[in-house]
Amino acid sequence: MLKKEILIVDDENTILDILTRALQDEGFIVRRAISGKDSIEQFRHYHPYLILIDMNLRDGVGGAACNEVIKECDPLTISVAMSGWFNQLYSIAHLRRKGFDHFLRKPFDLERVRRIVNATYIYRQIWDEISADVSDGVALMEPIITRNGGRIKVSSVQ
């Protein structure tokens, strides 16, 4: 069973506190890191399924570099970039090339954060179940998640 464990990386304690409270209320175990170096150590120790990374860390190790190391350790880790500089410094194409799975623009709506985190948890659970089926002789399928009238529909493509 996938643990509901996530890592939040931000050098602003206020952001860490707000996100931690909101996601703990959703039942997640929240690990926190205030630097790029700390995020990599935390990731290697706890192996969360999801990481929220501020793109503009002040310790010299940027969010993209953290994500690169994390994806090398576990390519299935879902990573979400966070920044207030979307469009000026970052675009969706740029973030995809850097290996990010999603983006949160600061300041963010906590309800949107909750929806993204919960949806990624469901996605990862389904992916793990489908991947486990490979050992039972079932063809590997990629789950597809779509929104339909506010509901999440999960299907598979072979």
pLDDT tens column, 31-41: 999 999 999 99
The dihedral formed by the CA atoms of 64, 27, 154 and 148, expressed in degrees to the nearest 10: -90
Tell me: pLDDT of 135 over 50: yes
Q: What is the mean pLDDT of residues 63-83?
A: 91
Which is more confident, 96 or 138?
96
Q: For residue 89, what pLDDT is reported?
A: 54
Measured distance CA(45)–CA(65) in Å, rounded: 18
pLDDT, average across residues 27-53: 95
Distance in angstroms between the alpha carbons of the first and the last residue of the chain:
24
Say whether pLDDT at 18 is over 80: yes
Q: Is the dihedral of CA 129, 133, 134, 138 positive or negative?
A: negative
The confidence score (pLDDT) of residue 21 equals 97
Q: What is the CA radius of gyration of the chain?
A: 16
The string of pLDDT tens digits covering residues 113-127 is 999 999 999 999 988
- What's the pTM? 0.80
Evaluate the CA torsion angle 155, 156, 157, 158 in order and state its sign.
negative
More confident residue, 43 or 141: 43
Mean pLDDT of the chain: 83
What DSSP element (H or E) covers 21?
helix 13-25
**Domains of the chain from N-terminus onward:** 5-123 (3.40.50.2300)
pLDDT digits (tens, 9 = 90+) for 77-97: 999 999 876 665 567 777 788
% of residues, the chain, pLDDT over 70: 80
Q: What pLDDT is stored for residue 136 in this prediction?
A: 55
Mean pLDDT value across residues 66-84: 91
